[in-house]
Amino acid sequence: MPDDNTNENPEEQNENQDTNDDKDTEIIDSSDSLFGEKDREITTEMQESYLDYAMSVIVQRALPDVRDGMKPVHRRILFSMHELGLRANAKYRKSALVVGDVLGKYHPHGDSAVYDSMVRMAQDFAMRHILVEGQGNFGSLDGDSPAAMRYTEAKMTKISEEMLSDIEKETITWADNYDGSRKEPTVLPTKVPQLLLNGTMGIAVGMATNIPPHNLGEIIDALQAMINNPEIAIDELMQYIKGPDFPTGGVIYDKEAIKAMYVNGRGGIVVRGRAKIIDGKKGKLNIIISEIPYQVNKSALVTKIADLVRDKKIIGISDIRDESNKEGIRISIELKKEAFPKKILNQIYKLTPLQTSFNMNMIALVDGIQPQLLNLKQVLYHFINHRVIVITNRTKYELKVAKARAHILEGLKIALDNIDEVIDTIRKSDTKEIAAKALMEKFNLSEIQATEILAMRLQTLAGLERKKIEDEYKEKMALIEELESILADPEKIKQIIRDELNEIKTKYANDRRTEINPNQLGKFSQKDTIPNEPMIIMLSEQNYIKRIPQAIFRSQNRGGKGVIGVTTKDEDEIKSNRLLTC
């Protein structure tokens, strides 16, 4: 039997179906969608959606802010540690605690992304000045992975505390977090020029950034020079900032390439590891590598050299040992007696990452939203401008607090000067609200002043306590005058910036690790990688010429006319030979 809901008439059913199809078609073709939006061209929709996605990646993930040099994830990690009280003098706490706090409050992405970012901030071979003090396995130059976050512990370093200094004093702007439940800083009020100090690397949509680390003392000297002379040229700034200063040391070549990089905001420089030739055991020579280029995997470098020796692309190496320890890098390459160390070292430079290039692309967010390619002077300018804004906002906040306290102290002074009348007024009042209103009317006080008078203890009536109030009032009035003078004079703000920069330099600056060689490094020719060694040139009876090393000739010569092991055409014999030094 047919179902009760089934139409038994096929024609009627088809007619009803056609009607339903027309209704469906009418809904689909309607100019209004289910969400009340108009139909759009798919090309327009794709373009705008892609641009929204691209800008989200650029602003929220991949590019740093030129002011504090931080990407959102790094900023959120430091701010979360600041909220957790993980100062430099605090105890270490589990990394998992920090990662969980960042994820739950500010950064709704994968935990590995947050932990990897925090790990890099704790690696002294990745950062010129580490921002996170790590305890446990945080990876190594050999590419070893860090331990899981449940095993490692972390806290802030002293220099990272300087990046959050005065954050509670209304110095910066704040924004809602991802769910609107709390506020997070859009930029840090940093005293440290982080963008140049530790550099950064990021790949966004349609653009990428790659900024090398620099020396803190040199950056601060350049900032001081720019504050004194805003029109300073990049040539003059380079008298202070010689070039990048990598945490792993090395040697940078070509001053002109460095200059072009700073002027244009992008460019490439050649970086070499540091190696020297020393005397080894039994009359042999050794090549000792003590520094490697930035971001080069030490273990991969050793493996690469070993592979080249195995494939006989480098001849003359008898042993390779990685003798690195906590004191630093030491890769020992033991050479054979007949080897030519300079030629082998040139081969290592040419064929391995011991010589590499670093390509800078100084793209950062200006005002937190606009990605721009910046040169050296522009980066310094934006940092100085940020410090001017931070100090101005801090001064306004301190002035507001000082005025509020002086206002209260002024009311307490009035009460102490008229203590008998104040007590009498309070006695005659039935409630504290009536007493406050009476005091306000009788002594022309504000509500805050009246409330503080009512909360005043009897011990305040003692002579010494009264003097404390008077002294504090004088102190606050002097502070107010000083703060107002700072806001009225831009030169005083600049002087504060100078003083704070000098303080940072005194506390944290250290010597340059990367050497700058002003000369351009020439390209390797085939001749540079061929050892200078004595060769035997032989002429056969049929006038064919053959060349073999002298050592091989000696081992094969038996005093006869021919040479054992030296092949010639059709039993052609050696007619003469001559020793040449090539």
Active site residue 151: yes
Model confidence over 302-353: pLDDT tens digits?
Answer: 999 999 999 999 999 999 999 999 889 999 999 998 888 999 999 999 999 9
Q: Are 480 and 403 a contacting pair, CB within 8 Å?
A: yes
Q: Output the pLDDT for position 284.
A: 85
Segments in the chain below pLDDT 70: 1-38, 523-533, 549-572, 574-582
């014999």: which residue's tokens? Answer: 573
HEC sequence for 361-395: ECEEEECCCEEEECCHHHHHHHHHHHHHHHHHHHH
Of 428, 450, 432, 454, which is closest to residue 441 (Cα–Cα)?
A: 450
Model confidence over 435-487: pLDDT tens digits?
Answer: 999 999 999 999 999 999 998 887 777 777 888 899 999 999 999 999 999 99
Quick count: other Cβ atoms within 10 Å of Cβ 11? Answer: 8
Of 261, 227, 264, which is closest to residue 244 (Cα–Cα)?
A: 261
Query: For the purposes of burial, counting CB atoms within 10 Å of the CB of 205, is it exposed (0-12), middle (13-18) or buried (19 or more)?
Result: middle
Phi, psi of 545 (to 5 degrees): -110, 135
Query: For the purposes of burial, counting CB atoms within 10 Å of the CB of 476, is it exposed (0-12), middle (13-18) or buried (19 or more)?
Result: buried
Q: What is the pLDDT of the chain when averaged over all its residues? A: 87
Tokens of 288: 């000792």
Count CA atoms closer than 13 A to 578's CA, side-chain side.
5
Question: Helices (H) and strands (E) in the chain — how many of each?
Answer: 19, 20
Quick count: other Cβ atoms within 10 Å of Cβ 357? Answer: 10
Of 272, 325, 328, 331, which is closest to residue 299 (Cα–Cα)?
A: 331
Residues forming a β-bridge with 325: 328
Tokens of 29: 């073709």
Residue of 151, 294, 381, 397 marked catalytic? 151
Q: Are 134 and 122 a contacting pair, CB within 8 Å?
A: yes
Q: Output the pLDDT for position 27.
A: 41
Rounded to whole angstroms, how far apart are CA atoms 87 and 160? 9
Q: Are 360 and 214 a contacting pair, CB within 8 Å?
A: no
353 DSSP assignment:
T
Query: For the purposes of burial, counting CB atoms within 10 Å of the CB of 369, is it exposed (0-12), middle (13-18) or buried (19 or more)?
Result: exposed
Rounded to whole angstroms, how far apart are CA atoms 377 and 8? 84
The pairing of strands 251-253 and 515-517 is: parallel
Phi, psi of 224 (to 5 degrees): -60, -45
Rounded to whole angstroms, how far apart are CA atoms 337 and 333? 13
What pTM was computed for the model? 0.81
